[in-house]
Amino acid sequence: MTKIVLRMSIVALVAMMGLGAGPVEKTRNLRVLMVMEGNNIRLQPQISGLRDALEELKYIQGENLNLRQVNGETNEELRANLKSLLQVRQFDIIVPLGTSETAVAREVAPDIPMVFLPAADPVNSGFVHSLASPGTNLTGLTFFTGSENLGKQLEVFKQVVPSLDKVGILVDGRLKSAVLTESWKRLAVVASWLGIRLIELPVTSTAEASRKIASLPNLAKNTGVFVFCSGLFKDAEDLSTAATKRKLPLFGCNAFQVAEQDVLLSYAPDLYSLGYRGAWFVDRIFKGAKPQDLPVETPRKFELVINNKIASEIGLKISPEILMLADRVFR
């Protein structure tokens, strides 16, 4: 009897230790693919936020995390590169780093869960049914809480540059018309209230955007340039060069552009924080949650960033009161 009990105990112990006939299944690695238009990751602070938060969640690259990115200078190139990669690699979650990237990724891989970081207007873009109940294979964070944020940005632009009465609005001509129509309506209402005439400048490349900036009149120093942010305008260096040459104030998309690319100012969500929060979505989906059940979140942190050195170069004196209100000022 003792031998039988001992033999049974050993068998049970072996089974518990995983030393039986079959090997223990290892924990599956998290496989995440970031989809980005362009090749300069420095233009995407949300990447750093995503990586840092995933590491805090104990996902370590090369151990239990395979975090990769696919790039393309244009939508067409990005689409082709994404298709090629997905033919040879499998991923648990796709993370598009903007509105146009989300549209491409959804077209190429509709069955893979996606977390956009961010999308400008995911409802009007057709990515989700509503923010509260996405109802699709996509979720994530928006760049704005709604079209009213564009109006607020225009207000801030007028506060920083009180002389403005004409503003050229650079828009990504590749975006769906529904997104632009809703945003334009909101901007038009605010512009009328502020006494500003809007000049719509649809473009499909930054080179075209630079040419249109160069064509704007500024005889009375009352004209500015406002970027309706999308993946097309991640890199603002050429835009800022053209604007500074014409001594036109340029309202950009994020703090990086103000700090590193000589854009005059931005009032926008902190992209690092968006990426950091995005890791929570990735973790939840990897552990079994469905994107359609995870409400899309709106930004929690906006910051006003001003480049006072560029203000001096274009002959603009920003009031001390405004500079004190800014979250960051580069001199």
Model confidence pLDDT, tens digit, residues 105-134: 999 999 999 999 999 889 888 999 999 999
More confident residue, 164 or 11: 164
Q: What is the pLDDT of residue 145?
A: 65
- Whether 30-144+271-293 shares its CATH topology with 148-268+302-330 is answered yes
CA-CA distances (angstroms) from residue 287 to 29, 44, 53, 282, 284?
Answer: 11, 26, 16, 9, 5
Q: How far apart are CA 309 and CA 157, in angstroms?
A: 17
pLDDT score, position 219: 67
DSSP lists the bridge partners of residue 199 as: 168
Of residues 14 and 169, more confidence is placed in 169
- Could you tell me what percent of the chain has a pLDDT over 90? 70
Element (DSSP H or E) covering residue 77: helix 75-88
Give the homologous superfamily in CATH for domain 148-268+302-330: Response regulator (3.40.50.2300)
The whole-number average pLDDT for the span 263-290 is: 95
Q: Is the pLDDT of residue 230 over 70?
A: yes
Q: pLDDT tens-digit profile of 56-76?
A: 999 999 999 999 999 998 889
Rounded Cα distance between 331 and 328, Å, is 10
pLDDT in tens, 300-310: 778 999 999 99
pTM listed for this prediction: 0.81
For residues 214-229, average pLDDT: 87
Name which of 114, 89, 88, 111 is nearest 101 in CA terms: 114
Could you tell me the sign of the dihedral formed by the alpha carbons of 40, 44, 49, 55, in that order? Answer: negative
Q: What is the pLDDT of residue 301?
A: 77
- How far apart CA 183 and CA 150 sit, in angstroms, is 7
Of 260, 251, 267, residue with least CA distance to 327: 267
Confidence of residue 169 (pLDDT cuts 50, 70, 90): very high
Most confident of 24-38, 158-172, 180-194: 158-172
* Residue 268: φ, ψ to 5°: -155, 170
Pairing of strands 302-307, 265-269: antiparallel
Once rounded to an integer, what is the mean pLDDT over residues 20-24?
39
Q: Where are the domains of the chain?
A: 30-144+271-293, 148-268+302-330
Q: How confident is the model at residue 147 (pLDDT cuts 50, 70, 90)?
A: low
Are residues 82 and 108 in contact, defined by beta-carbon separation less than 8 angstroms? yes
Whether 200 shows a pLDDT value over 60: the answer reads: yes
- 242 or 230, higher pLDDT: 242
Output the average pLDDT for the chain: 88
Cis peptide before 162, with omega less than 30 degrees from 0? no
Confidence at 182, pLDDT banded by 50, 70, 90: confident
Using only the alpha carbons of the chain, give its radius of gyration: 24
Return the pLDDT at 41: 66
> How many other β-carbons are positioned within 10 Å of the β-carbon of residue 45?
19
Do you know the residue count of the chain?
A: 331
Of 3.30.1660.40, 3.90.1010.10, 3.40.50.2300, 3.40.50.11900, the CATH number of 30-144+271-293 is: 3.40.50.2300
Residue 38 has pLDDT above 70, yes or no: yes
pLDDT tier, 257 (very low <50, low <70, confident <90, very high otherwise): very high
